[in-house]
Amino acid sequence: MANCHLKFKMPPIIQVQGLTKSFRTYKKEPGLSGALRGLVHRKYETTIAVNEVSFNIEEGELVGFLGPNGAGKTTTLKMLAGLLYPTGGQARVLDYVPWERKDGYRRQFALLLGQKNQLWWDLPASESLDLNGKIYGIAQDVFAKRVGELTELLNVKDKLNVMVRELSLGERMKMELIASLLHQPKILFLDEPTIGLDVISQKTVREFLRHYNSTNKTTIVLTSHYMNDIQELCQRVIIIDHGKIFFDGKLSEIVDRFADFKILSMTWQTGAAVPAVDFAKYGEVLKQSANQIQLKIKRSQVITACKHLLDQLPVNDIDIEEVPIEEVIRQIFAR
């Protein structure tokens, strides 16, 4: 009898089904009379921040969670971290219901909000880290090793004894990241971790997250308005707008689905005899000079436009490229 080898696929580490969150806010009428009427009969408005969101995330994935301001990104992350109770729907993370806030779950994830501090402002970063180590019950030798490794990777070892309020924004964010990773969480929720950082600090944080994800197989859900963060780190993206999932798939598929254009650049020698050409009939003129033209052309017309222009112009260099992903995302949000 032949041996049967069965492969069991592990369930997704994050499972979200129909997750909904609405907020009821008091609508105050203007003026003193409005305030007095509000004491007797208040008017409320209901805002749906997250509207029946569903998705799964596998262990070890690094997923970009995108959307314009107010789209529902942070609200979703807060529900998955157990900070908010949903109005409806279900979610299981690491086989826990997040808003039940069980201790076993809280010890296995971390939430880092780019605009919120978890370190004590008037103490050295080392003391806040030491407190976190005590809270999570990390043995002293293990704690020292982890702090050493993480500060080395993020190049802030010499800043451990500096008051947090005296650290630069980039240094503080690196320390916040270290504090979030001390207990080696299986899931890391990152909300705008590079906001306000200079280019060098952004690059350092991105390289660290890429290394940490590949080394530890930590599942990371990342929101960011910097497309460089998303392009360099995430193969898969989830786009949310007005509380609903708009797209869920590979980053490369966004260009295929939503970019109807390509960028055509042609260059010829300076001083060469160039006939008068109506470039606008081929596409949108993005840039034009004495020896160069750059056009935004519909995908279906790129080959035809190239043939016609090559027949008319003394071209010595040609380049066809996709519309930058940042521009595509901007157009999606604008819709």
How many angstroms separate the Cα of 309 from the Cα of each of 63, 233, 263? 41, 38, 14
Per-residue model confidence (pLDDT) at position 41? 74
Cα separation, 113 vs 191, in Å, equals 5
Condensed to tens digits (0 to 9), the pLDDT of residues 231-280 reads 889 989 999 988 899 899 998 888 777 778 889 999 988 777 778 888 88
What is the Rg, in whole angstroms, of the alpha carbon atoms belonging to the chain? 26
Same fold, 14-28+44-255 and 259-334: no
CB atoms within 10 A of CB 40: 6
CA angle, residues 250, 252, 253, in degrees to nearest 5: 70
Cα separation, 52 vs 57, in Å, equals 17
The set of residues, in sequence order, having a beta carbon less than 8 Å from that of 218 and lying 6+ positions away, is: 60, 184, 185, 186, 187, 188, 212
30: helix, coil or strand? coil
Q: Sheet holding 284-289: strands in order across?
A: 284-289, 292-298, 261-268, 315-322
Entry pTM: 0.79
CATH tag, 14-28+44-255: 3.40.50.300
Identify any residues that bridge with 248 across adjacent strands, giving them in sequence order. 238
Closest Cα to residue 229, out of 204, 255, 261, 257?
204
Per-residue model confidence (pLDDT) at position 178? 93
| Burial bucket for residue 119 (CB in 10 Å: 0-12, 13-18, 19+) | buried
Where the chain has pLDDT below 50, the residues are 1
CB atoms within 10 A of CB 171: 20
Do residues 169 and 162 touch, judged by C-beta distance below 8 A? no
Q: Which amino acid is at 255?
A: V
Q: Which fold has domain 259-334?
A: Alpha-Beta Plaits (3.30.70)
> For residue 126, what is the enclosing H or E element?
helix 125-135
Domain regions of the chain by residue span = 14-28+44-255, 259-334
Closest Cα to residue 155, out of 174, 128, 127, 130?
174
Do residues 191 and 225 touch, judged by C-beta distance below 8 A? no
Per-residue model confidence (pLDDT) at position 8? 60
Closest Cα to residue 106, out of 130, 136, 134, 76?
136
Do residues 315 and 266 touch, judged by C-beta distance below 8 A? yes
Per-residue model confidence (pLDDT) at position 1? 47
Per-residue model confidence (pLDDT) at position 335? 66
Per-residue model confidence (pLDDT) at position 259? 76
Per-residue model confidence (pLDDT) at position 64? 93
